[in-house]
Amino acid sequence: MSALDLSLTPEERDGYLHEQRTARVATADQGGEPHVVPLWFVWHDGALFLNSTLGNVTVENMLRTGRAAVTVDDGDTYDALRGVTLHGRVERAHRDPRVPDVERLWSEKYMAGQPVPYSRWKDRTWLRLDPDDEASWDFRKIPEAKARRDAARARGGS
C-alpha cells in the first residue's frame, strides 16, 4: 500500500503555525544528549522566531551548534493529529530587520496587544530558526487521501 499524502500545503502550514502557541524546541548539549523545552514562537516570513534568555541551556546549545529542531503539534484523537517539524539553522536575530514585525505579531498572539517587554529584561534575545528541512501531517486528511488513492487504483494507477 502506498503512503497517503497527509502533508500540509505551504499555506496550511503558515496558517497552522500562526495559530499555534507552543513549540517543543530540541537541541543537543556538548555531549550530544538531547534537550527539549517548550517555547512560545512567532512564524514570520518563512522563519521561526523565539525569545529566550542568554545563558540558559537551550540558548547556549543553539548558539554553540547553530542548529535546532522544533515540533508544533496538536490533536486530541488519532484522526485529529496534525503538526509541523522544522530542522534548521539558528542564530541570534536581535539585528534582524523583521524584529519589529515579530514583536507586533508576538504582542497580538501572546500579550493581547500590549507591548512586548523583553527589551527591558536582562539578557533576553531574539533567535531565528531558518528551516532547511520540514515535515508536516494532518490526519484529518486521511479520508480524502484514501479516496484519492482508491480512485487512482480504480483508474489503473498505483
d(CA 15, CA 151): 29
Alpha helices in the chain (DSSP H): 10-19, 57-65, 99-110, 142-154
pLDDT tens, the chain, 158 aa long: 457 889 999 999 999 999 999 999 999 999 999 999 999 999 999 999 999 999 999 999 999 999 999 999 999 999 999 999 999 999 999 899 999 999 999 999 999 999 898 878 889 999 999 999 999 999 999 999 899 888 888 988 65
Q: Could you tell me the domains of the chain?
A: 10-154 (2.30.110.10)
Instruction: Write down the pLDDT at residue 158.
Output: 59
